[in-house]
Amino acid sequence: MQTTNNDILVYIKRNRRGKIFFADEFRKFGNNEAVRQALSRLCRKNFLIRLSAGIYLYPKIDHEIGIIYPSIETVAQTIAKREKTRMIPTGAYALNALGLSTQVPAKVVFLTDGTARIVNVGKRATIRFKRTVAKNLSYKGKISLLTISALKEIGKDKVTDEQLQKIKEALQHEGHGNLMHDTGLAPVWISNIISKLIENE
């Protein structure tokens, strides 16, 4: 048991702080129970932080403000890459990412074809991965996807002129091919809005 603990400790220290680890990375150091107990011990000592079942953070520490957590997007992308799954943001996160809202959401939902789970990023931020059908994950462009998600959150006939202007500016950084593909997947009312915004570009 002590050997497992020491081997895991050495392995983690070889990496930069801020790195996210997955429990199956440590299987080579011992049996499941030995690894589980070693990780639990490191969490109790605050050497590791458990974000969710089987997901751990080797935290950055600032002497004044304490633990520095990675961004929500970094955590979500790391999990999706590790599990080879797709994900798309929804709601308030999309609004904030596009500059349509200054409020940083404490609870963020990503649609995914991977495992449904809740991940805690610090004490105030939560990521929820929610299972969805493949069609909802077929978008190609990051900005066009954020735009569609944001408009869904705002709602039909509730988009302001100021919001439309910001969306138009953002869409200028999206590839034409991605826009054509993604608007074809969007609800008709959203597709119409985007088409009008880019028709003279």
Structural domains present in the chain: 2-66 (1.10.10.10), 72-196 (no CATH)
For residues 29-46, average pLDDT: 94
Summarize pLDDT for 128-154 with one digit per residue, the tens.
999 998 888 999 999 999 999 999 999
**Tokens linked to 95:** 């609004």
Question: What was the pLDDT predicted at 122?
Answer: 85
Q: Can you tell me whether residue 153 is helix, strand or coil?
A: helix
Of the chain, the end-to-end C-alpha distance in Å amounts to 64
Distance, CA of 145 to CA of 143 (rounded, Å): 5
What gap in Å lies between CA 61 and CA 135, rounded to an integer?
41
CB proximity list for 64: less than 8 A, separation 6 or greater: none
b/e 45-65 (16+ beta carbons within 10 angstroms → b): eebbbbbbeebbbbbeeeeee
Helix (H) or strand (E) holding 61: strand 60-62
- At 110-135, the pLDDT tens digits run 999 999 999 999 887 899 999 998 88
- 55 contacts 82 by C-beta, under 8 angstroms: no
State percent of the chain over pLDDT 70: 99
pTM here is 0.79
Quick: pLDDT tens for 73-100.
Answer: 899 999 999 989 999 989 899 999 999 9
- 3-state SS, 64-127, equals CCEEECCCHHHHHHHHHHHHCCCEEECHHHHHHHCCCCCCCCCEEEEEECCCCEEEEECCCEEE
Task: Give per-residue pLDDT as tens, 4-28.
Answer: 999 999 999 999 999 999 999 999 9
pLDDT tier for residue 108 given thresholds of 50, 70 and 90: very high
**pLDDT band of 1, cuts 50, 70, 90:** low
pLDDT at 180 over 90: yes
Task: Provide the CA 97 distance to its chain's centre, in angstroms.
Answer: 12
Quick one: tokens of 27? 């299987």
